[in-house]
Amino acid sequence: MARRPKPSAREALPEDLVENIVDIDVTSEMEVSFLEYAYSVIYSRALPDARDGLKPVQRRILFMMSEMGLRPDRGHVKSARVVGEVMGKLHPHGDTAIYDAMVRMAQDFALRMPLIDGHGNFGSLDDGPAAPRYTEARLAAPALAMTNHLDEEVVDFIPNYDNQFMQPEVLPAAFPNLLVNGSSGIAVGMATNMAPHNLGEVIAAAQHLIANPDAQLDDIMAFVPGPDLPTGGKIVGLDGIRDAYATGRGSFKTRATVQVEQISARRTGLVVTELPYLVGPEKVIEKIKDAVTSKKLQGISDVVDLTDRHHGLRLIIELKNGFNPNAVLQQLYRYTPMEDSFGINNVTLVDGQPRTLGLVELLQVYVDHRIGVVRRRTTFRLGKKKDRLHLVEGLLIAILDIDEVIQIIRSSDETAQARERLMGVFDLTEIQANHILELRLRQLTKYSRIELEKEQEELRQAIAELEEILASEPKLRKLVSDELGEVAASYATPRRTVLLESEATAALAGAAPAPAGRKAPVQLEIADDPCWAILSASGQLARTADQQELMDGGQRIKHDVFTSVVRTSARAEIGAVTSLGRMLRLQVVDMPTLSPGSGTPNLAGGVPAREFITLAKGETLVALAPLNAVLALGTARGMVKRVSPDYPLNREDWEIITLKPQDHIIGVCAAREDEDLVFLTRHAQLLRFPASTVRPQGRTAGGVNGIKLGDEDSVLFFGAADPTDDAAVVVTIASASAALPGTSPGSAKVTALAEFPAKGRATAGLRAHRFLKGEDQLSLGWAGHGPAKASTSAGVVRTLPVEHGRRDGSGVPLSQPIDAVGPALG
């Protein structure tokens, strides 16, 4: 190993040496060096170009895929192959950065119009994509509009990083990609964040700007009212959007799209079908669970994610009973990403310099770029047409005497001599002579004079049109506008995002409007307001507001009239009495609410009673009843009982009467001491007697005799009526027992209850309806405060005619069958 020589004494400096020491300020040097680095990051990586809306890596991916022939009509190739080609030829950075950019251009939830057609797992809002060796890709159809005509010198080409390949400085971009797909990027000292927009709206605005170069922001916003996010949702408040369009900076709120649905008989849920931009369901679920655990959120019992690729997003947030859905939703907006803020910062490269642009400026930069592209393309095509015309004209000259042309070529010693002789004899240019010399002998037979003259005329016509476009700025701008319209016709889709002027318009349907000038407070839990609990003839349970006009008239489902109505409150408990003498406890808040909406509420919005209670075979729900009143029960065999409200507090169901074999309950009502109890039998016998004559009994008692029944007779109706009520009526509908359903409408009779005097309990009563020929029974009967409501077999609710007659009088023939009779709400 050689030894290092010992240091020798310093040699003497030359006498003519002049020392020049330069002092450099470290601060200035750092600033200059840092700015050079920052500019490199801004220009070469982070910010998009305002003309095509692409960052360098995105532009290189699309260009290389176009060069590889990965068109939409061809098969997919491995993503790793594309990444390798881009990295090896154009982009001197890691494969991860290239693949991430490629993945984003294929995600339909990230871009409003994806530019890459991905095959395989390209990720979701909550999960990343598979490795590039597992996925495949090709260009999407809109990407062709970005790369078309690159071979016609429409843009400048620049060398790649090692000067071996050429790449476009910018893509032709047949649509405003920067506005349509948006962009985001973080550079040194600046960042960009641009929202996606609707292609049809943006192109319409660009066409308006082309036709009206002096258009103002209000004119453009008539076409582009706001962003159109890929995932839909709602944008609440448009002031921030206008600020962003005017200055290039602003913000807006995005909200999930939510509907209130009855997810089970007793549970209401908030169903989320669209989330804010770039917010995934797993993130929302996690935030909801955290907020519920920390007790920031109340009223939520469960969250279920039913999202799949076939039906899209469906997130069900199940609510606890008694909580206002609108109030819970407001909490979700506050504590979870179901409401998110998007900040617009339109920083983009214009002529290589970062600038913050408003909407009009962004469109103007694009329009100028597109006009330049079309002008260069037209110039290129004009040159090609002129070159071809020049060759065709030479062929026409030569074909007139093709034998002499062949003789000149055969007699020449070399190509140069043949070229000179052809140019001298036929007055051809060097280009024309070379073209003739390069033709094979067999090709000369193809060129007939007629065909060449036809091509010559077509070329001259095309040249004239191209020159006319280049000579007229209005025609050039019209051509650009027409091509934009063709792109919109091919790729435009309807708007997905709903724009709301203010937060007041974003409330759930059915919520009370806020008073003018202030925001209405929303109670989290449902208030204990008065309401009606309703049981319909078709077995639907529901509750509605304490407003009589809501329930008068209107169309309902078949057979649907009210058979039992109880005045209560939203957070109270009521009882449900079955035909076998059982009473079940029901929570009123569990019942679905019927909202007035547009017109009369439809009881089809109720929930079947079987969803609330479990009934034995042959058991039916007879009526609803309050738990704090003395109830009167009537059975099919004529028994009557008044029950004291001494019900167990620790049970959900119990017996309130001991029935005899083959007997069942017909009617239940809350009867005061001053009211009369009314029995109505199938043989049209009516008996009314004071309720005070029946003393209240305990739950296990079997009751006493109420009405004396004839042979084969049974009770059809039992209820209570106020003897002082002048509007109290008796409704009887007669029919033939042997007739098929719907074939014999029968007859109806409405009689004032006052025409039937009170009799003693356990007597037979009076005749209420005289049967016509063919009639032998009552099919329906009802007594109470009028006017009564009836439902036809077609489901049409109607008020019965009030025609008083004798106690033994017959009814009025019906035009169509009546299937149900019940009280009006009042």
Q: Is 134 a catalytic residue?
A: yes
Contact of 277 with 231, CB cutoff 8 Å: yes
Contact of 734 with 773, CB cutoff 8 Å: no
Beta strand pairing call for 696-697 and 639-643:
parallel
Give the largest CA-CA distance in the chain: 149
- Separation of alpha carbons 177 and 817, rounded Å: 66
Cα dihedral value 535, 540, 546, 549, nearest 10: -100
Contacts of residue 94, defined as CB under 8 A and 6 or more positions apart, other chains included, come to: 87
> Which helix H or strand E contains 458, and what residues bound it?
helix 449-471
- Separation of alpha carbons 236 and 385, rounded Å: 55
- Separation of alpha carbons 233 and 276, rounded Å: 6
Contact of 568 with 588, CB cutoff 8 Å: yes
Q: What type of residue sits at position 428?
A: L
Q: Which of 37, 134, 333, 366 is catalytic?
A: 134
Cα-Cα end-to-end distance for the chain: 116
- Separation of alpha carbons 235 and 229, rounded Å: 9
Alpha helices in 697-803 (DSSP H): none
**The residue to which tokens 């620790």 are assigned:** 650
Q: In the beta sheet, which residues pair with residue 236? A: 253, 500
- Separation of alpha carbons 826 and 817, rounded Å: 26
DSSP symbol at 612: T
- Separation of alpha carbons 261 and 284, rounded Å: 19
Whose CA is closest to 729, among 818, 777, 790? 790
Three-state secondary-structure class, residue 34:
helix
DSSP string computed for 521-536: P--SBPP--EEEEEEE
Contact of 248 with 190, CB cutoff 8 Å: no
Measuring CA to CA, how many Å separate 798 from each of 122, 373, 559? 60, 72, 11
Three-state secondary-structure class, residue 734:
strand
Where are the extended beta strands (E) located within 637-727?
639-643, 653-655, 665-670, 676-681, 685-690, 696-697, 704-705, 715-721
Contact of 254 with 276, CB cutoff 8 Å: yes
**The residue to which tokens 């209130």 are assigned:** 260
Q: In the beta sheet, which residues pair with residue 778? A: 734
- Separation of alpha carbons 193 and 340, rounded Å: 15
Whose CA is closest to 541, among 591, 590, 614, 579? 591
The shares of helix, strand and coil residues in the chain, as percent rounded to the nearest 5, are 30, 25, 45
Contact of 143 with 115, CB cutoff 8 Å: yes
Residues that are catalytic: 134
